[in-house]
Amino acid sequence: MERKSIVMLIALMVTGFGIGIDFTGALMLVPAIEDSFDSDITGTQWVLNIYALFFAMTMVAGGRMGDMFGHRKMMIIGLSIFLFSSIMCFVAPGLDYLIVARALQGIGAGCVWPCTLAFGATKVSKPEHRALIMGMILAGVTTGNVFGPMISGAAVTLGEWRLFFLANVVFSAISMATAIFVMEKETQHKQGERIDFAGMAILSFAVLLLLYGLDIGADWGWTSVPLLLLFFASGVLFFMFPRIEKKVPEPLLLPQLMQNREFLITLGLNMFNVSAAFVGLLYFPQYMQKVLGWSTFESALGLAPLTVLLAVGSVVSGTLYNDFGPKRLLFWGYLSATLGSASIVLMPDGLGYFQILPGMALIGLGATLTVGPSGTAAVCAVKPERAGLVGGLSFMTHLVYGAISVACATAVMYVSSLNSLGKQLKAFGIDLSLADQKAINGGTLTTDTAKAIMQKLSSTEAEKVQTAIANAFDSGMNMAFVFATVSVSFGLVLALLLDEKKLHKVEG
C-alpha cells in the first residue's frame, strides 16, 4: 500500500476512534448518571438508545449526502455537530437535556460514519485492499471501544462523569483537523440524488414509539389500553413504511437492492449480530458494579475480554474476509455469540466475575467475526457510487435493531428483577411498597430516593435488602440474555442461507 493511502487510512482510523470511545464509554456512566439525576435503568437506557436511534436514522441520509456533496465535506459537518453536542452533554443540567444532547451526538456520528466507510472504500487504489482498509477503520472504532470505558472510568474515579464528554470534545476536534488537513477534496459526486425524508421520519417515529412503549410498559401496565395504543401506532407506521417507499423517487430501500434475496439476508446479518454485544455492553459493567461492588474503572478493565476482542478481531476479520469469504466467518461468529449468550444464562450463580467471563469472551469473538464481514459484504456488493448509501443502510439496520434489543432486554430484565426482588423481600419478612421496590430495583442504592428508602430500614433489614437487590439484578440480567440468545440464533440461520455468489451480483 502506497504512502498516500496509509496516511489516509490513519486519518480515517482516528475518526473511527473518536466515534468508538463515545459509545462504550457512555455505557460505563449509567450508574453515575442514575445517581446524579436520581433516575433508574429504564430512564438512563435512553442515553444509549436515543444515540443509537438517531445515529442509525441519520446514517442513510448522511451516506447519501456524502455521495452527493462529498464524503469529506459531510465528515467535517458531522464532526462539527458532534463537537457541539459533546459540549451540551458536558453541561447537561438534567437527564432530559442529556438525552437531547445525545440525540444530537447521534446525528453528528450518523453523518460521519458512513462517509468514513465510503471514503475508505472508494479511495483505495487496489480493490483487493478494500476489505483490509474496512477492517482497519473498524479497528479504529473498536480500539476506541476499548479505551472508552477506561476514559469514562477515570472520569468517574475523579468524581465527575461529565469529564468523559470533555474527552469527546478533544477527540472530535482532532478528527476535524485530520479531515481538513489530511484528506483530499473530492471533485466528482453523484448527481440527481434525492433524500427520502418521509421514509426516514416514518421509520424513526415507528422505532421511537416502540422504544418508548418498552420503556414505560412496566409503569403503565403491559395490557393497559394506552400502551396497547402506543404499540398499535408503532405497528401502523411500520406497516406504512414500505408503502411510502414505493411512492418516493429515491427511497431509503432501493428496489434493485431490496428485490435481491441475498442482500436482504446480508441486512439481517447486520442486525442480529448486535443483540448479544449491545446487551452485554450495557449489563456487564452494571453487574460488576452493582453485584460485585467494583468501581467504574475496575469494571472498565473487567470489560476488556469483550472490548479487546472487538478491537483485535476487526483487523483479523478484515484480513480473513478475502481468504474465507463472509459465509464461513459469519456462521462461526454467530455460533460463538449464541453460545456466549447462552452461557450467561446457564452459568451457576455465585461465581462472581467468572460467571460472565466465558460469555464475554465468546460474545466478543462472535462480534469480531460478524460485524466487520457483514458490513463489508454489503458495501462491496454495490457500485462505488452507492458505497455511502449502502454503508449507511447496513449500519442503520445494525443500530436500530441494537436499540430495539436493548429496550426489549431492559423491559425483560426490569420485570424479571422486580418479580425476583418482591419474592425475596417477602421471604425475608420485609414489607416494602411496590413503589419503593421499583425505586431500588436495578441495584442502584446511591440515588436520593433509594437512600431515603434504605434509611427507613434497620441495619439487618438493609443488609438483607442489598442481598435481595443483587440477586434480583443477577436474575434479571440472565433473562435479558435469554432474549439475546434467541435473537442471535436467528443470525445463525441466516448465515447458513447466505449465497455468496448471488450476493456479489446485486448490481452486477
3-state percent breakdown (helix, strand, coil) of the chain, nearest 5:
85, 0, 15
* Distance, CA of 272 to CA of 305 (rounded, Å): 21
* Distance, CA of 406 to CA of 48 (rounded, Å): 9
In angstroms, what CA-CA distances link 459 with 152, 237, 427?
A: 33, 52, 17
Q: Which of 11-20, 93-102, 381-390 has the highest mean pLDDT?
A: 93-102
Question: Is 80 a residue whose pLDDT tops 90?
Answer: yes
CA 32, 34, 40: angle at the middle one, nearest 5?
A: 145
Phi-psi region of 350 (alpha: psi -120 to 50; beta: other; left: phi over 0): left
In angstroms, what CA-CA distances link 390 with 32, 172, 393?
A: 37, 24, 5
* Distance, CA of 464 to CA of 420 (rounded, Å): 14
Q: Compute the Cα dihedral for 432, 435, 439, 441 and give only its sign.
A: positive
* Distance, CA of 146 to CA of 505 (rounded, Å): 36
Mean pLDDT of the chain: 82
Q: Which of 24-28, 185-189, 478-482 has the highest mean pLDDT?
A: 478-482
Q: Give 448: exposed, middle or buried? Use CB within 10 Å, 0-12, 13-18, 19+.
A: exposed
Alpha-helix residue ranges (DSSP H) falling in 185-303: 197-220, 225-245, 255-258, 261-272, 274-286, 296-302
Residues 29, 33, 36, 40: what is their CA dihedral angle, to the nearest 10 degrees?
-140
The pLDDT tens digits of the residues spanning 287-320 come to 898 888 888 888 888 988 887 777 676 666 666 7
Cβ–Cβ < 8 Å for 404, 420 = no
Cβ–Cβ < 8 Å for 267, 482 = no
* Distance, CA of 313 to CA of 367 (rounded, Å): 8
At residue 126 the predicted structure's pLDDT band, cuts being 50, 70 and 90, is low
The arithmetic mean of pLDDT across residues 136-144, rounded, is 77
Q: Give 193: exposed, middle or buried? Use CB within 10 Å, 0-12, 13-18, 19+.
A: middle
Cβ–Cβ < 8 Å for 65, 111 = yes
Question: Is 503 a residue whose pLDDT tops 70?
Answer: no
The arithmetic mean of pLDDT across residues 174-199, rounded, is 74
- All three cell numbers of 468: 435481595
Amino acid at 38: D
Grid cell 436474575 is found at 475
At residue 391 the predicted structure's pLDDT band, cuts being 50, 70 and 90, is low
The arithmetic mean of pLDDT across residues 77-88, rounded, is 93
* Distance, CA of 468 to CA of 450 (rounded, Å): 14
For the chain, what percent of residues have pLDDT higher than 70?
86
Q: Which domains does the chain have, with CATH numbers?
A: 3-183+250-417+473-503 (1.20.1250.20), 196-249 (no CATH)
Contacts of 486 (CB under 8 A, 6+ apart): none
* Distance, CA of 298 to CA of 280 (rounded, Å): 16
Of the candidates 141, 138, 161, which has an alpha carbon nearest to the alpha carbon of residue 151? 161
pLDDT, residue 205, reads: 84
At residue 128 the predicted structure's pLDDT band, cuts being 50, 70 and 90, is low
pLDDT, residue 508, reads: 43
Stated pTM of the model: 0.78
Of the candidates 183, 171, 169, which has an alpha carbon nearest to the alpha carbon of residue 74? 183
* Distance, CA of 402 to CA of 204 (rounded, Å): 14
Of the candidates 115, 91, 104, 163, which has an alpha carbon nearest to the alpha carbon of residue 16? 115
What Rg do the C-alpha atoms of the chain give, in angstroms?
Answer: 22
Three-state DSSP string of 19-43: HHHHHHHHHHCHHHHHHHHCCCHHH
Higher pLDDT, 124 or 434: 434
Of the candidates 291, 273, 274, 293, which has an alpha carbon nearest to the alpha carbon of residue 413? 291
